[in-house]
Amino acid sequence: MKNDAFVDKALDVKFADLKKLVSGYGSLIVAYSGG
Protein backbone atom coordinates (compact mmCIF):
# COMPACT_ATOMS: atom_id res chain seq x y z
CA MET A 1 0.00 0.00 0.00
CA LYS A 2 2.83 2.39 0.84
CA ASN A 3 4.32 1.70 -2.57
CA ASP A 4 1.11 2.66 -4.36
CA ALA A 5 1.00 6.00 -2.57
CA PHE A 6 4.62 6.64 -3.50
CA VAL A 7 3.97 5.82 -7.15
CA ASP A 8 0.88 8.05 -7.17
CA LYS A 9 2.97 10.90 -5.76
CA ALA A 10 5.67 10.37 -8.39
CA LEU A 11 3.06 10.32 -11.14
CA ASP A 12 1.50 13.52 -9.80
CA VAL A 13 4.89 15.25 -9.93
CA LYS A 14 5.59 13.95 -13.43
CA PHE A 15 2.14 15.02 -14.59
CA ALA A 16 2.62 18.51 -13.15
CA ASP A 17 5.98 18.80 -14.92
CA LEU A 18 4.38 17.60 -18.15
CA LYS A 19 1.61 20.17 -17.85
CA LYS A 20 4.20 22.91 -17.26
CA LEU A 21 6.09 21.72 -20.33
CA VAL A 22 2.96 21.62 -22.48
CA SER A 23 1.84 25.09 -21.41
CA GLY A 24 5.37 26.35 -22.06
CA TYR A 25 5.33 24.95 -25.58
CA GLY A 26 1.83 26.33 -26.05
CA SER A 27 2.93 29.88 -25.28
CA LEU A 28 5.98 29.42 -27.53
CA ILE A 29 3.75 28.37 -30.43
CA VAL A 30 1.44 31.32 -29.80
CA ALA A 31 4.42 33.69 -29.76
CA TYR A 32 5.84 32.28 -33.01
CA SER A 33 2.47 32.36 -34.79
CA GLY A 34 2.15 36.03 -33.93
CA GLY A 35 -0.73 35.50 -31.49
**Domain regions of the chain by residue span:** 1-35
Instruction: Please state the three-class secondary structure of 1-35 as a single string.
Output: CHHHHHHHHHHHHHHHHHHHHHHHHHHHHHHHCCC
Query: Average pLDDT for residues 4-18, to the nearest whole number?
Result: 90
Reply yes or no on whether the pLDDT at 1 is more than 80: no
Q: Output helix, strand, coil percentages for the chain, rounded to the nearest 5.
A: 90, 0, 10
Query: Average pLDDT for residues 1-19, to the nearest whole number?
Result: 88
Q: What is the mean pLDDT of the chain?
A: 88
Going by the DSSP 8-state scheme, the letter that residue 34 receives in this structure is T
Query: Average pLDDT for residues 1-29, to the nearest whole number?
Result: 89
pLDDT tens, 20-34? 999 999 999 988 888
